[in-house]
Amino acid sequence: MPFSYPGGITLSDLLRDLIARWRDDPCATYRSWFLWEERLKNFRSIKRGISLVVSDIEAGSFGNVYKGSSLETIVGSIAEQRQIFKGADHAFLWKPKLRIPDIYENEENKRAFARLLHHCCCCETEREILAGIETIDRLEIKGLGPAVANLLYFLHPTIMPPFNTAIVRGFNAVTGSKVKLGRWDQYLAMRLGVLRLNQTYRDVLSNDLGAIAGFLFDIGIGRFSAPPVCDSGSAREEWLADLSKARENAKKFEGPLAADKANDRTHTEVQAWLRDLGLALGYEVWIAANDRGRIHDGKSLSSGCLNRLPEPLERLPGADSIRLIDVLWINSSQARVSAAFEVEHTTSIYSGIVRMLDLALSEMHETDNLFLVAPDARENEVRMQLQRPAFSRVRDLKVRYLPYGELETHRDAIARFGTGLKGIHAISRVL
């Protein structure tokens, strides 16, 4: 029979009282971990460490073992937060007899893991992060499951809750759900329930999902007892609805993700054309910092390119923005930008133009060298956008339009017979 509370008391009342007692307990995770000053420092160091893992995999220096790798360093720093993450490294330890997790000896899986981490480092929205998870889940990499969410939590603490056995137990106890370990769809369904709980008790918890995770953890290890769920039937139905929603979301992503993947491939392909052309013409080439790990024809987009901008460019006030320009051709002898390219496949040109302006205002570039590279059919759209008053300064810079078609048709000939920017100027036009 459904459990009922006396005196009109609701489950919500009991949970709110339990959270209050949990917050006041000096031994509970709220005071011992969530408010711990070192926890905040860990966010910065772990994010840097995740970037290092991506860089090591891109450079081929990651190796094929967990011990001694950059991944061991960051997972170890998470596991050292023993108040909640004790044992977090177990899921990543190499188990040779089972060959799991299969991200050490399988190069494709290793690169896919790096792409997920890189993607989640760069993106900001919930949809983008879930899309990255759906992508890795479809690859069915043995042994690589929702334990990765502990890494993603330190990148996006308001979107991705931590995940371990105790948190799952606590969530099931509080909600009457039946979450199982080891599957992404189960984690994503639990995440929906965690977000709903956090919203309900937001005033006594936090926008940072570490708080609600710590509360569930302490219930899961038995430090606190969850009140009996009033209506296990309704709770069960709610859990199944969340699970169904998580699975439906995965299906919804398939169409948009396929389109996104095609768009991304085209964008990456054009960057690769510009990279190869710049190298053939004798320039040093810089690939946007957030695109360096993208793969084209089996190798990273940054292959053969600069690992960092020349020092005079690094010191510029707008260096952070300049690093995100899609492709730069750099005159190595003068440490100046000979040409800058923003590839605008489907997105608004606004952000690309802002980055171009940061470069233009630096005076560390040669004149008549800013290019918007876009599909042939977008020229009129781009011209109309540049007519906006906000872009009046841009028109003075004589930004040039370089259509995909012209670049694809003539790039080989320019690489063989061209010098400097003559060939690129010949196939582009001032906007």
What string of DSSP letters covers 221-287? Answer: TTSS-PPPPS-HHHHHHHHHHHHHHHHHHHHHHHHHHHHHHHHHHHHHHHHHHHHHHHHHTT-EEEE
Average pLDDT over residues 101-124: 89
Q: What percent of the chain has pLDDT over 90?
A: 38
Question: Is the predicted pLDDT of residue 3 greater than 60, yes or no?
Answer: no
**Between residues 227 and 103, the one the model is more confident about:** 103
Question: Is the predicted pLDDT of residue 2 greater than 50, yes or no?
Answer: no
Q: Across-strand partners of 284?
A: 330
289-309 in b/e form (b: 16+ CB < 10 A) is bebbbbbbeeebbbbebeeeb
Question: Is the predicted pLDDT of residue 46 greater than 50, yes or no?
Answer: yes
At 4, list the tokens: 């009922």
Question: Is the predicted pLDDT of residue 236 greater than 60, yes or no?
Answer: no
**Most confident of the following: 71-75, 159-163, 249-253:** 159-163
The one-letter code for the residue type at 343 is V
3-state secondary structure of 395: helix
Q: Across-strand partners of 401?
A: 372, 429
Q: How confident is the model at residue 1, as a pLDDT?
A: 40
**Most confident of the following: 130-144, 255-269, 394-408:** 130-144
Q: How confident is the model at residue 395, as a pLDDT?
A: 65
Question: Is the predicted pLDDT of residue 8 greater than 70, yes or no?
Answer: no
Across the beta sheet with 327-331, the strand order is 284-287, 327-331, 336-343, 370-374, 400-403, 429-430
Q: Report DSSP state, residue 100.
A: B
Q: How confident is the model at residue 125, as a pLDDT?
A: 84
Hey, where are the domains in the chain? Answer: 8-230, 261-430
The Cα–Cα gap between 181 and 102 comes to: 18
Strand runs (DSSP E) across 263-396, as ranges?
A: 284-287, 295-296, 299-300, 327-331, 336-343, 370-374
Please report which confidence band the pLDDT of residue 91 belongs to, taking 50, 70 and 90 as the band edges: very high
The answer to whether the CB of 285 falls within 8 A of the CB of 332 is no
Question: Is the predicted pLDDT of residue 211 greater than 80, yes or no?
Answer: yes
3-state secondary structure of 373: strand
Question: Is the predicted pLDDT of residue 243 greater than 80, yes or no?
Answer: no
Among 81-95, 252-266, 289-303, 350-364, which stretch is predicted with the lowest mean pLDDT? 252-266
Average pLDDT over residues 272-289: 94
Which residues, in sequence order, are CB contacts of 124 under 8 Å at separation 6+?
Answer: 156
Average pLDDT over residues 183-202: 94
The answer to whether the CB of 117 falls within 8 A of the CB of 61 is no
3-state secondary structure of 61: coil
Which is nearest to 51 in space by CA: 167, 183, 192, 154? 154
Query: What's the mean pLDDT when you consider all of the chain?
Result: 84
CA 313 centroid distance within chain:
26
Which is nearest to 67 in space by CA: 32, 104, 34, 39? 104
Q: Across-strand partners of 327?
A: 287, 341
Question: Is the predicted pLDDT of residue 301 greater than 80, yes or no?
Answer: yes
Termini Cα distance of the chain? 73
Q: How confident is the model at residue 215, as a pLDDT?
A: 96
Q: How confident is the model at residue 363, as a pLDDT?
A: 67
**Between residues 378 and 416, the one the model is more confident about:** 416
The Cα–Cα gap between 269 and 292 comes to: 13
User: Which helix (H) or strand (E) segment is 219 a member of?
Assistant: helix 210-220
Q: How confident is the model at residue 244, as a pLDDT?
A: 73
Average pLDDT over residues 184-195: 94
